[in-house]
Amino acid sequence: MRVNQQVNHTVQFHLLSEEQLEEVYRAALHLMEYTGLDVHNAEARALLSGVGAWVDGVRVRLPSSVVEKALGSAPRSFTVFSRESDSSKDLHIGPGRFHYGPGPTCPNFMDPRTGEVRTYTRADARAVATVCDALPNIDFVESLGTVSDVPPAVGDVHEFAEMIAHTGKPIVAWSYAMEGCRDIHRMAVAVAGGDDASVRRPNYIFYCEPLSPLVSSKEAMDKVLYCAQHRVPLIFTPCVIGGGTGPSTMAGIIAQAAAESWLGLVVSQQLSPGTPFCMGGVVSCMDMKTMTFAYGAPELSLLQAGLTELAHYVGLPLWTTGGCSDSKVVDEQAAIEGALSVLFATFSGGDLCHDLGYVESAMTGSLQQLVTMDEAIGYVKRIARGIEVNPDTLAVNVIDEVGPGGNYLTEAHTLAHFRREFWLPSLMDRQRRETWEDRGRATMGGRAQARLTELLASHEPTPLPQEATDSIERVLTAANARAEH
């Protein structure tokens, strides 16, 4: 019997020390207290003023005690429930747990059959939801596009309607304006079975964004207020472009992002203390040659890990970013950039990692990239799981039995352990060259496409109950009518 043992159950990764995190935290509070933020929403300003903020026109400054109070009331853990009775699709957010999903609102979409880059339709929303529902390592759903074959003002509502009918995994929703936000909520409530059910067992997450640097628009605040009022789990996620809409130094980017996100936190917690809240968001550098926001940059991995650690330091889950690329095509660059950001999101434990499937710096959504990243997640998770060390795995007796010059192929120990110790690839190929040639010399891109085609053809998501479908139909009809005026 061994005593006094401390083991690593997973690999250990730390970017910033406690004191560095404390310093970044204080810097964010300082920004909120002395620089302040512009809040273009009278109701929100009134709320903040009531809780002790100093308001001058649209400029709001929050004393750190106000922010600290809000941090104290937001939950570190909560659950978002699948609409199916299959509880394995529930999203349990909390310390040590991490999840993955695609991203929304790409202007273009890569055709899932031909690879051609084109506009995105309702049918694509259905396809994306179906594929997400089927992929083993994808936990939540976003659309990878912007629906264009419906009246523009209601694209958000149609997207949600299509997706919720074709997946049991929780959706992270967004909307153009308040009407869409309300419609989406109506649909989600119908699926949940009523307002009360929706509050006690929320079935979707809503996300909206401040504007960097340090600005919150009227619509964004309206959405925050609405979500708090209805206790919809909320993500308030900044998108700071280092060198453009934020400083060019990593630490400053993180501090600014935190300040922007926590404005949404304070408003939501003040209105409805305990509303589940996710800090966010998407932080990277501006490429100073091409002026693109670099989704594939190593700085993204670094910044996201730093932001994750800060979120956990103050007791919040983080909406993080990974699996995305600046490449125009789903090539080796897309694989490198996606894999590295997935790796660091996993190691730092970013609670909800989104934008998997983004290519062309978020201009194009790609299911081919998503399928590839699903494999990368499995790969990375095996590493994160670490090495199990116990008398059985140390195998000293087995080594002795096999002896110098022997082999382990038929050992009972081998049979007992190899399936758990070894990750089984689905898309990665380990065949000898001759076999690979005989089977058609497929590259991973080819295999990913084949997998995608197969999933689209064969996967059947659990349908919605008729009642929910009818309710959703009613919401859509009303939305369309509204759009016509």
Partner 1 sequence: MAVFDDLKQAIISGNRAQAKELTKAALDEGIEAKKIVVDGVAAAMAVVGEKFRANEFFVPELLIAQRAMKEALSLMSGESVNHIGTVVIGTVKGDLHDIGKNLVAAMLEGAGFRVVDLGVDVSPEKFVETAKAESADLIAMSALLTTTMGSMKDTVATLDSEGLKGKVKVIVGGAPVTQSYAEEIKADGYAPDAASAVDKAKTLLS
Partner 2 sequence: MRANTQSNMTPRFRVLSPDQIEDIYLAALEVLERTGTRVHHGEAVNLLRQAGCHVSDGNLARLPSALVKGCLQSTPERVVIAGRDRSRKLTLEYNKVYFGTGSDCPFILDPYTDERRRYTFRDVYHAAKITEALPHIDFHMSLGLTSDVPTQSYDRHQLLAMLQGTTKPLVITAVDGEGLADQYQMACEVLESKEEFARTPLFVVYIEPSSPLTNTKEALEKLLYAAETGIPAIYTPCPMCGGTAPATLAGLMVQCLAECFTGLVVAQLKRRGAPIIIGGLVSIMDMSSTIMSYGAPEMALLSAGMTDVAKWLRLPVFSTGGCGDAKVLDQQAAIEAAVSIAVAALSGANLVHDVGYLESGLVGSYDMLVMSDEIIGMVKRIMRGIVVDDEHLAGHVIDKVGPGGNFLAEDHTLAHFRKEFWQPRLIDRSRREAWEAAGSKTLGQRTREKVIEIIEDFEPAPLPAEQKLKAICARADEQYSKGDKALV
Residues 324-383 that bind partner 2 (CB under 8 A): 326-337, 339-340, 343-344, 347, 360-361, 363, 372, 375-376, 379-380, 382-383
Residue 228 contact among partner 2, partner 1, none, beta carbon within 5 to 8 Å by kind: none
- Of the candidates 183, 138, 191, 182, which has an alpha carbon nearest to the alpha carbon of residue 356? 138
Indicate whether 96 belongs to the interface with partner 2 (CB under 8 A). Answer: no
Q: CB-hemisphere CA count at 13 Å for 127? A: 24
> Which two structure tokens, joined as six digits, stand for 145?
């596009």
In the complex with partner 2, which residue's Cβ is closer, 12 or 114? 12
Residue 484 contact among partner 2, partner 1, none, beta carbon within 5 to 8 Å by kind: none
* Cβ neighbours around 59 below 10 Å, total: 15
Instruction: State the minimum distance, in angstroms, from the CB of residue 149 to partner 2.
Output: 23
Instruction: State the minimum distance, in angstroms, from the CB of residue 58 to partner 2.
Output: 8
Which segment (201-209, 266-274, 434-442, 476-484) binds partner 2 by CB under 8 A? 434-442
Residues numbered 46 to 65 that lie near partner 2 (CB under 8 A) are 59
What is the DSSP code (8-state) at residue 88? Answer: G
211 forms bridges with which residues in the sheet? 215
Residues numbered 263 to 302 that lie near partner 2 (CB under 8 A) are 285-290, 292, 294, 296-299, 301-302
Instruction: State the minimum distance, in angstroms, from the CB of residue 397 to partner 1.
Output: 18
Angle subtended by helix axes 122-134 and 367-385, to nearest 10: 20
> Which two structure tokens, joined as six digits, stand for 388?
């199990």
Which segment (80-88, 96-104, 120-128, 254-262) binds partner 2 by CB under 8 A? 254-262
* Cβ neighbours around 345 below 10 Å, total: 30
User: What gap in Å lies between CA 370 and CA 380, rounded to an integer?
Assistant: 15
Residue among 254, 316, 318, 468 that touches partner 2 (CB under 8 A): 254
Which segment (35-43, 148-156, 157-165, 230-238) binds partner 2 by CB under 8 A? 35-43
Q: CB-hemisphere CA count at 13 Å for 56? A: 7
Task: Give 55-103 as a DSSP string.
Answer: EETTEEE--HHHHHHHHHHS-S-EEE--SSS-GGG-EEESTT--EE---
User: What gap in Å lies between CA 311 and CA 159, rounded to an integer?
Assistant: 30
Instruction: State the minimum distance, in angstroms, from the CB of residue 217 to partner 2.
Output: 11
Residue among 238, 242, 264, 350 that touches partner 2 (CB under 8 A): 242
Contact 377, 342 (CB under 8 A): yes
Instruction: State the minimum distance, in angstroms, from the CB of residue 377 to partner 2.
Output: 11
- Rounded to the nearest 10°, the torsion over CA 349, 383, 416, 427 is 100
> What would the x/- binding string for partner 2 be over residues 188 to 227, using CB under 8 A?
-----------------------x-xxx------------
Q: In a 3-state reduction of DSSP, which class is residue 409?
A: coil
- Of the candidates 309, 301, 259, 268, which has an alpha carbon nearest to the alpha carbon of residue 282? 301
Size of the site for partner 2 (CB under 8 A): 133
Task: Give 171-197 as a DSSP string.
Answer: EEE--SSHHHHHHHHHHHHHHHTSHHH
- Of the candidates 27, 17, 39, 66, which has an alpha carbon nearest to the alpha carbon of residue 254? 27
Indicate whether 31 belongs to the interface with partner 2 (CB under 8 A). Answer: yes
Residue 332 contact among partner 1, partner 2, none, beta carbon within 5 to 8 Å by kind: partner 2
Indicate whether 145 belongs to the interface with partner 2 (CB under 8 A). Answer: no
Provide the binding-site residues for partner 1, judged by CB under 8 A: 405, 407, 409-410, 414-415, 418-419, 432-435
Phi–psi pair at 352, nearest 5 degrees: -130, 110
In the complex with partner 1, which residue's Cβ is closer, 223 or 447? 447
Instruction: State the minimum distance, in angstroms, from the CB of residue 431 to partner 2.
Output: 5
As a whole number of Å, the end-to-end CA separation of the chain is: 77
Residue among 1, 85, 433, 485 that touches partner 2 (CB under 8 A): 433
In the complex with partner 1, which residue's Cβ is closer, 46 or 415? 415
Residues numbered 62 to 91 that lie near partner 2 (CB under 8 A) are none
What are the C-alpha distances in Å from 400 to residues 389, 405, 407, 408, 421? 18, 11, 11, 11, 21
Indicate whether 438 belongs to the interface with partner 2 (CB under 8 A). Answer: no
In the complex with partner 1, which residue's Cβ is closer, 50 or 440? 440
User: What gap in Å lies between CA 50 and CA 219, rounded to an integer?
Assistant: 21
Residue 340 contact among partner 2, partner 1, none, beta carbon within 5 to 8 Å by kind: partner 2
Instruction: State the minimum distance, in angstroms, from the CB of residue 401 to partner 1.
Output: 16
Instruction: State the minimum distance, in angstroms, from the CB of residue 365 to partner 2.
Output: 14
In the complex with partner 2, which residue's Cβ is closer, 30 or 92? 30
Peptide bond into 238 cis (omega under 30): no
Indicate whether 256 belongs to the interface with partner 2 (CB under 8 A). Answer: yes
User: What gap in Å lies between CA 356 and CA 140, rounded to an integer?
Assistant: 11
In the complex with partner 2, which residue's Cβ is closer, 246 or 276? 246
